[in-house]
Amino acid sequence: MKLRMLFNLILSCSVFLGAEIRECNDVAEVLTLADSETLVIFDIDNTLIEPTQVLGSDQWFNYMLQNRQNNGQAYESALKEIIPLWMQIQQVTEVKTCETSTTFVVEELQRKGIHTIGLTSRSIPMAYRTIDQLKSVGIEFTKTAPHVHDFWVPLDQLQVFKAYNEPAYYLKGILFSGCNDKGELLLQFFKLTGYLPSKVIFLDDKQNHLVAVEKKLRLKEFTNFTGLRYNVCDEQVKNFDCSIADIQLNYLKKILSDEHARALLSR
Ligand SMILES: [Mg+2]
């Protein structure tokens, strides 16, 4: 009962402040919420796109990270090993949209002239490949991004993750945060471009990123914010099968012998 009262209190505070984070199981919901004064922000992995197989997925990445930590490896050290492998997979993997309507929804927002950008934890080395992956499913943020020119966000303006010390990058309508706080980066985007929408909608499958953005916006007294915790990929994350991913990883590492290659040629 006390929990229920606490929940209602938190809910009423959110409504009072005008900001809200809630669950979302259909990307098309943004079409009913966004208007011409809105900036719609999309996370990328498990929100817009996912690999066509489990290898290289967000859930695979987290499994690899957890697995190494369970075996005693430090978080930073594990991350340093897995990121290059994840990047290698991204270079070759095909992707699909998380819902069949995803591309239509982004295009429909753009057709209405509504500002849209991407905001991803992917880091700078993955920027061009990410743009190609999105293009392969028909998504291009340049169409209605509120700022045209690409730019770096300097290190001294961000809370940088110690082990990586990486700046952030804005390229073709996408903010690549790397290990930086998404909320902090969004504020820097507004500051560096001079652009400030009346309303922000942010779709992300990770609650912590939604909270980070909501928190930073609230600090600047920007409360016209709707965070949508996108849960369409939750089932896949829950049912992740590491044995399938392990086999796929073994094949990725496998180089064909000359004999095998000749055999294939002679078919
Ligand atoms: Mg994501």
Interval between CA 83 and ligand 1 midpoint (Å)? 15
Span 28-65, pLDDT tens digits: 999 999 999 999 999 999 999 999 999 999 999 999 99
Ligand 1 centroid to 2 CA: how many Å?
33
Q: What is the C-alpha separation between 163 and 82, in angstroms, rounded?
A: 14
Amino acid in the structure at residue 125:
P
Band of the pLDDT at 16, cuts 50, 70, 90?
very low
Collect residues with CB below 5 Å from ion ligand 1: 43, 45-46, 205
At the top level of CATH, which class does the domain 16-253 belong to?
Answer: alpha beta
**Is pTM beyond 0.85 here?**
yes
Q: Look up tokens 């490949």; give the residue.
A: 129
| Residue the block writes with tokens 């990123």 | 209
Residue spans per domain, the chain: 16-253
Strands 49-51 and 95-97 come out as antiparallel
**Mean confidence (pLDDT) of the chain:** 89
